[in-house]
Chains A and B, each alone.
Chain A
Amino acid sequence: GAVVSQHPSRVICKSGTSVKIECRSLDFQATTMFWYRQFPKQSLMLMATSNEGSKATYEQGVEKDKFLINHASLTLSTLTVTSAHPEDSSFYICSAQTGGTDTQYFGPGTRLTVL
């Protein structure tokens, strides 16, 4: 149980284009989803917290107009990187949590490369 999937697993795009990453909880309802960014050989940096049906809460320094997060249902959240640039190249990871627990279940991550 508690499986989280991400799609796509890797994506390559041209500078200036937008990319959407999907995060799904497959066998539970995720009242809260989180989006992280992981740089090579570094830790996870929380970008935003998303509660179903509400606007996402962004961490300091994360541009909300560049990283659009939608959490329209209890099993799906999306992260759209708008007007991507090479510095946005990274590993993006989502996690999901159900109400009443403090355990996050992580997706396998999406490798974004912006050329």
Chain B
Amino acid sequence: GDSVTQMEGPVTLSEEAFLTINCTYTATGYPSLFWYVQYPGEGLQLLLKATKADDKGSNKGFEATYRKETTSFHLEKGSVQVSDSAVYFCAQKPQGAQKLVFGQGTRLTINP
């Protein structure tokens, strides 16, 4: 079935470090892929998305590229800030479906 697997957390980095959070998916068709972020005490916010192979989503310095050959959508940021501390969720929307399938979430903590 359709699923999403994320890098297990928690992840702790120092400010200005390079960030990668791995995400892979299994799908029967061609899904759309998403990264959502949940800041402490808030609801999920869409961070970025990509709808087809080789698309790159980007927002707030974060990037992720839809890699069909490796079924991956890894999240990257070149220089993290304390304000990036949050839980990050990778998700797919299976082709033809309305629902989202979420990964387990990765808690990121950035220390000053």
Contact = CB atoms under 8 A, between A and B. Distances in A.
Interface string A47-81: 00100000000000000000000000000000000
Interface of A: 4, 6, 32, 34, 41-44, 46, 49, 93, 95, 97, 102-109
A46 B43 CA distance: 15
B112 to A, nearest CB: 24
Contacts of A108: 42-43
Of the candidates B42, B45, B100, the one having the most CB atoms from chain A within 10 angstroms of its own CB is B100
Range of interface residues on B (Cβ < 8 Å): 20 to 34
A95 B34 CA distance: 15
B102 A44 contact: yes
B26 interface: no
Contact of B104 (A42, A102, A107, A109): A42
Contacts of A109: 43
Contacts, number: 46
B43 A93 contact: yes
A32 B43 contact: no
A46 B4 CA distance: 14
B105 A49 contact: no
Nearest to A108: B43
Contacts of B103: 43
B62 interface: no
Nearest to A97: B98
Contacts of B100: 34, 46, 95, 104
B49 A103 contact: yes
